A and B are shown apart, each in its own frame.
Chain A
Amino acid sequence: MARKTIRTIPQERAFMPVQEPAARARNFDEVTLGFGLDEALLECERCLICPQQPCVAGCPVGIDIPGFITRIIDKDTRGAWDLLTDANLLPAICGRVCPQEDQCEGVCPVSDPLEPVAIGRLERWLGDRAIAEGWSKQNHIEPNRFRVGIIGSGPAGMACAADLAKAGCAVTVYEALHQPGGVLRYGIPDFRLPNAVVDAEIGTLVKLGIEIKCNTLVGRLFTIEQMIGEMGYHAVFIGTGAGSPRFMDIPGENLNGVLSANELLTRCNLMQAGSFPEYDTPMPVGRRVAVIGSGNTAMDAMRVALRLGAETVTCVYRRTEAESPARLEELHHAREEGIEFEWLTAPLEILDDGSGGVRAMRCIRMELGEADDSGRRRPLPIEGSEFEFETDMVIYAIGTSANPILGQTSQIRLDRRGYIETDETLATSLAGVYAGGDIVTGSATVILAMGAGRKAASSIKRYLRIRDSETVYQPKPANLEGTLFGIDLAERNFVRVQLA
């Protein structure tokens, strides 16, 4: 086959269907509907399979992207999924929520002058295929004698748990909430990441032998020191996330009708408040909702508020769209659904409606001055530009700070902001205890947390002096002739029993 060039590949990205904005803004069904087989094959044709492979280096978990694309082209979908999941066991999740434009797709050579290969959509397609087909890896793991405890079942903890389980460790993951998944469960709304996908991919991890203990608040039920001591864990990984929502300390902040995006999202995603009263947790939404902040959490909060029935939802942000930390795709989707934006606007005070609720928000216009530490231009108030913004619900999405529980209950060393201090191997001040993800770096992304989890897992393996013992049996191409009852042995629907 002649080598593909930028001129010979399909110039346009394969079509991915999306729910119409008007319809989707009133339901919690998924917004983007994913590729079918034809679209996936077409999109794979756009990959140049270039020798430099910048996408692999651009991926925080180092997925062999050209490798899995080649296998899809060869119609070996199962093989593609096997290769993909060597590096990332949560492809249906990451394909949906990774900021690919800053990672693999951002460095794809096709992106100049065309749109980059839609790697995220391909990853998602493979992940969804695996869930639909019920694929699982036939891992043979030789158990070693080590026990590892993981605190938090979010992306960092799960990635770490997966690598250690593959290495043969007995891994227990402790989760404080009543369902596993961390931010994937409570934070990311169903219309971006359905709970069923989270369930399915966590199921993949459980098949590796990982044990998940919900309803367990480490620090209070037992401490990290107890895990390493009397509970006999040889190593511990902390992946608790950042999670404590920030407020601004302006007047009126404690009024009913003022809440954090975390609360709104937890009520809706984890507790299913959108289905109140069938579910017991309520989340009444205002008529005119204002969301402060313009990151991805703000976008999620705004779109959830809209789906709960708000008439108008407005984003209030003190800088401009150019400085907005949200993904372009999220901004785009939010705008399509009718979210309004008040750029260069900062709240000064939230005004009482006389019965403990919100009547309006007093705001001030801003202008951009010199660049600050973050490299973004600093917003400065314009004197005399105060105005009242009519709203009955104010949602804060201005970031999070470190959760205090582990600091309160252990001797582990924290940095001055309260995050856990680690060295470059992600080792903490306690021997055998590693940490990664938001609780170390502050708020970041799902995939960066997973990258940190994998890095910590490799440090833990080095600390315990263990090598991967995993053998993955690649299933043979389905050849049902000659097998018993036409069942492919590789799928192993039977449990081997030992007769006395």
Chain B
Amino acid sequence: MADRDDRRERDAPVRDQVSGAEHDGIAASGFPILARTDFSEVTFLLEIHHPAMARAARPGQFVIFITHDRGERIPLTLADFDPAKGTVTVVVQAVGKTTRAMQRDCRQGSTIFGMVGPMGVPSRIGEASKVVCVGGGLGVAPIYPQARGFKQAGAYVIGVVGFRSRDLIFWEDKFRAVCDEFVICTDDGSAGIKGRVTDGVEAAIAKHSDIDEVIAIGPPIMMKACAETTRPHGIKTTVSLNPIMVDGTGMCGGCRVRVGGRIRFACVDGPDFDGHEVDFDDLMTRLRRFKQEEQAALERWTESCRRIDLEPAHPGGAGGA
């Protein structure tokens, strides 16, 4: 009897209720990882099952992850979303304690403790008829949905992505499928043109006099360089900012950035802003806010991993003297 089933559900303990797996297609906790691909020693892709988020996500939005009940909340820009498969994709660079732990622990078949999104104002796609989509470092993956979005909206899309060397390149086919022109820049010249993404942007501007917009995602120093490259040409340049966040819902103000002399919250006013207005030096200073603590946490974690590796393996876990 339906009523009786209702009642039994109601008697379940709090935790079960809070983390109840599926309801209206909305998962609340314990999000399964369907696939993982490693692109390099530090870069890996996670494809996570979350049908509601896959439906709601738009280019430019981000998610916040918390990987365990003592974890921190970290924002990651969405690299892809597929409403048909019900999945969202992020590409992670293992640089700090949390992302290194994710690299170790997030496997196909395991779950993410907490994940909320899509967050932030979606990118405006539509008006521009010729755009350059620039991705560098951790920004290569998140520029993909923008390129695809512009392509679907009928724009002429020039993709420019940067890697250190040939063997770190990923998603070339995916980009080529949505870009009318696609330029790879490598630091060592082992693929594409030798140089930085700004060289690719310069080349695109030289070739096309009618570029409406440049969208750049990557490390702050790269976005700053892109904005400076386009500024003399007066080309609208949109950047996606990645400051430190806690809640991601506009509540803590930790992600505040200076744009056009005003304080804006990247989580609810952004993450996209006019690159010519952003105070990148301020952003870079604020990204160093917890440098000491981040360093200490990473060292502590690395040390504990080393100790675990040194310990002789005891089947069944808690062994030892």
A interface, CB within 8 angstroms of B: 143, 170, 172, 176-180, 186, 199, 202-203, 206-217, 220-222, 231, 243-245, 247, 249, 253-256, 259-260, 262-263, 266-267, 270-272, 276-282, 284, 356, 396, 403-405, 408, 495, 498
* Bound Cα distance A271, B98 (Å): 14
List of A residues within 8 angstroms of B152 by Cβ: none
Contact of B114 with A260 in the complex, beta carbons under 8 Å: no
Q: List 6 A-B contacts (CB under 8 A).
A: A180-B18, A214-B28, A217-B248, A220-B61, A278-B70, A279-B71
For the complex formed, measure the closest distance between the CB of A236 and the CB atoms of chain B, giving whole angstroms.
14
B289 within 8 A of A: yes
Flag if A199 contacts B14 (CB, 8 Å).
Answer: yes
Complex Cα gap A177–B265 (Å): 18
For residue B121, CB closer than 8 A to chain A, the reply is: yes
**B interface size (C-beta, 8 A):** 69
Contacts of B294 in A (CB 8 A): 282
Assess whether B253 is in contact with A209, with CB atoms less than 8 Å apart: no
Q: Which of B2-10, B183-191, B213-221 contacts A (4 or more CB under 8 A)?
A: B2-10
CB-based contact A211/B23 at 8 Å: yes
In the complex, per-residue mask of B117-160: 1 if CB is within 8 Å of any chain A CB, else 0: 11111000000000000000000000000000000000000000
Residue from the list B8, B17, B293 in contact with A211, Cβ < 8 A: B17
**Interface hub of A172, A260, A282 (most chain B Cβ within 10 A):** A282
Q: Which of B229-275 contact A (CB under 8 A)?
A: 246-254, 256-258, 262-263, 265, 268-269
Contact of A206 among B6, B14, B23, B119 (CB under 8 A): B14
A254 touches B72 (CB 8 A): no
List 12 additional A-B contacts (Cβ < 8 Å) besides A177-B249, A244-B250, A259-B254.
Answer: A207-B11, A211-B20, A220-B56, A244-B253, A247-B263, A262-B253, A276-B293, A276-B297, A279-B71, A403-B251, A404-B269, A495-B11
Q: Which residues of B contact A (CB under 8 A)?
A: 3-4, 6-11, 13-14, 17-20, 23-24, 26-29, 52-53, 56, 61, 66, 70-73, 97-98, 113-121, 246-254, 256-258, 262-263, 265, 268-269, 282, 285-286, 288-290, 292-294, 296-297, 300
Q: Which residues of B contact A263 (CB under 8 A)?
A: 246, 252-254
Contacts of A202 in B (CB 8 A): 14
Q: What distance in Å separates the Cβ of A296 from its nearest Cβ neighbour in chain B?
A: 17
Q: Is the CB of A220 within 8 A of B118?
A: yes
Q: Do B297 and A282 touch across chains, with their CB atoms under 8 A apart?
A: yes
Minimum CB–CB distance for A345 against chain B, Å: 22
Query: A403 and B249 in contact (CB under 8 A), knowing A212-B18, A284-B290?
Result: yes
- Ranked nearest first, the 7 interchain pairs of A and B with the lowest CB-CB distance are A282-B293, A209-B10, A263-B252, A280-B72, A178-B114, A356-B285, A260-B253
**A213:B28 contact, CB within 8 angstroms:** yes
CB–CB B250/A143 < 8 A = no
CA distance A260 to B263 in the complex (A): 13
Q: Which residue of A lies closest to B61 (CB)?
A: A220
Complex alpha-carbon distance, A217 and B118, angstroms: 8
Contact residues of B: prevailing secondary structure = mixed
Given contact pairs A206-B17, A266-B247, A404-B268, A254 touches B254 in the complex (Cβ within 8 A): no
Contact partner of A266 (CB less than 8 A), chosen from B114, B251, B293, is: B251
Residues of B within 8 A of A210 (CB): 17
Query: Which of B73, B251, B262 has its CB near the most chain A CB atoms (within 10 A)?
Result: B251
A256 to B288, Cβ gap below 8 A?
Answer: yes
Minimal Cβ-Cβ distance residue in A for B101: A280
Q: Which residues of A contact B113 (CB under 8 A)?
A: 178
Closest to A402 in B: B250
Closest beta carbon of chain A to B261's beta carbon, Å: 9
A396 to chain B, nearest CB (A): 8
Chain B residue, CB-CB nearest to A265: B252
- A243 CB to nearest chain B CB (Å): 5
A498 touches B282 (CB 8 A): no
Give complex CA distance A170, B296 in Å.
47
Task: Tell whether A254 pairs with B251 under 8 Å between CB atoms, given A405-B268, A498-B4.
Answer: no
Are the C-beta atoms of A209 and B26 separated by less than 8 Å? no
- Which residue of the partner chain A has the closest CB to B301? A277
The minimal Cβ–Cβ distance linking B284 to chain A, given in whole angstroms, is 9
Q: Which residue of B lies closest to A179 (CB)?
A: B18
Give the Cβ gap from A234 to chain B, nearest Cβ, in Å. 14
Interchain CB contact under 8 A, B285 and A280:
no
